[in-house]
A and B are shown apart, each in its own frame.
Chain A
């Protein structure tokens, strides 16, 4: 029986990681689902849905050779998963400010209390070592509408965090 697994791969970034991992999965008879892959702090990270009729252990063995060769850490979990069930985000929130401890917790807590269900979050620390800045982009579903979110964000603005909320009005035609 086919089952879904979430495969997580992390390691020092170098060319060819995606190609080698996906080739090993293809050769092993796996089907790939949705994925998110990116370079974070000089590491390359992969989160990948993989469909296979084996056990998690077998999938790990399949990937051991390329992971070892490329110095990657590997993690495999069996998951309950479905394709073709994308939620459509209706709001985008951009945040930037001086980086400091607790900024992510503060912003996301305020957003969660105002009804935001995060579908996608991407953040960066940029600027310089002396003066790091924090940039975050969130997309999600505003479960209680846009207005409570706007009100909630005012409290962050009052504390010197730049926040911009933009409704996403998806045009389907």
Chain B
């Protein structure tokens, strides 16, 4: 496994739209391993998108299991992910390995249903909530060339709604 170089904003390559994965082979599995190693090497990183390492394929990895008191699916490899249902909205603080030294508030859907393939091409379906749902949405944005900076809302207002 290798730790890959992460592109850093304002690198214009982060704004490109990634292409669907069509070939599921050994090479893809090796890349997924490298991508995961890169995510885990980052400080506190709970997700990564292939486009962050300059690979324009629709692949993301999310693993929020290191965070206590959060329900999650553990290590999620999402190839060609699609959000088929999204419900509710929640403001939360986000940062990005491609945007050092800045965090900000972003509104995300509270619950999402995601259809994707795994690294072997098998169709998978996940229902994600809260923090995990936020990570998945942040990563899928990367595949569409969007950063959390494109979605910032004010930090100076009370946007932390109670979970009622």
User: Which applies to chain A's interface (DSSP): helix, strand, loop or mixed?
Assistant: strand
A84 & B100 in contact (Cβ 8 Å cutoff)? yes
**Known A-B contacts A169-B67, A169-B93, A173-B62; A137 and B158 likewise in contact (beta carbons under 8 Å):** yes
> How far is B101's CA from A88's CA once the two chains are assembled, in angstroms?
9
A171 & B160 in contact (Cβ 8 Å cutoff)? no
Q: How many pairs, one residue from A and one from B, have CB atoms within 8 Å of each other in the complex?
A: 62
**Known A-B contacts A88-B95, A173-B46, A173-B47; A137 and B134 likewise in contact (beta carbons under 8 Å):** no
**Known A-B contacts A94-B158, A122-B156; A86 and B101 likewise in contact (beta carbons under 8 Å):** yes
Residues on A with beta carbons closer than 8 Å to the beta carbon of B134: 171
> How far is B32's CA from A82's CA once the two chains are assembled, in angstroms?
37
- Contact mask A89-132 → B, CB, 8 Å, 1/0? 00010100000000000000000000000001010000000000
B45 within 8 A of partner (CB)? yes
* Least distance between B119 CB and chain A CB atoms (Å): 19
> How far is B95's CA from A136's CA once the two chains are assembled, in angstroms?
25
Residues on A with beta carbons closer than 8 Å to the beta carbon of B93: 168-171
User: Looking across the interface, which residue of chain B has its beta carbon closest to that of A83?
Assistant: B101
Contact of A171 among B43, B94, B155, B156 (CB under 8 A): B94
Q: How many chain A residues touch B (Cβ–Cβ < 8 Å)?
A: 18
- Contact mask A159-173 → B, CB, 8 Å, 1/0? 000001010111111
User: Looking across the interface, which residue of chain B has its beta carbon closest to that of A139?
Assistant: B155
Residues on A with beta carbons closer than 8 Å to the beta carbon of B94: 170-173
A171 & B101 in contact (Cβ 8 Å cutoff)? no
Residues on B with beta carbons closer than 8 Å to the beta carbon of A120: 155
B135 & A171 in contact (Cβ 8 Å cutoff)? yes
A169 & B44 in contact (Cβ 8 Å cutoff)? no
B156 & A172 in contact (Cβ 8 Å cutoff)? no
- Contact mask A14-30 → B, CB, 8 Å, 1/0? 00000000000000000
B145 within 8 A of partner (CB)? no
A171 & B138 in contact (Cβ 8 Å cutoff)? yes
- B-contacting residues of A (Cβ < 8 Å)? 84-86, 88, 92, 94, 120, 122, 137, 139, 164, 166, 168-173
25 A-B pairs within 8 Å (CB atoms) are namely A84-B100, A92-B160, A94-B158, A122-B156, A137-B156, A137-B157, A137-B158, A139-B155, A166-B160, A168-B93, A169-B67, A169-B92, A170-B103, A171-B93, A171-B134, A171-B135, A172-B45, A172-B94, A173-B45, A173-B46, A173-B47, A173-B62, A173-B94, A173-B96, A173-B139
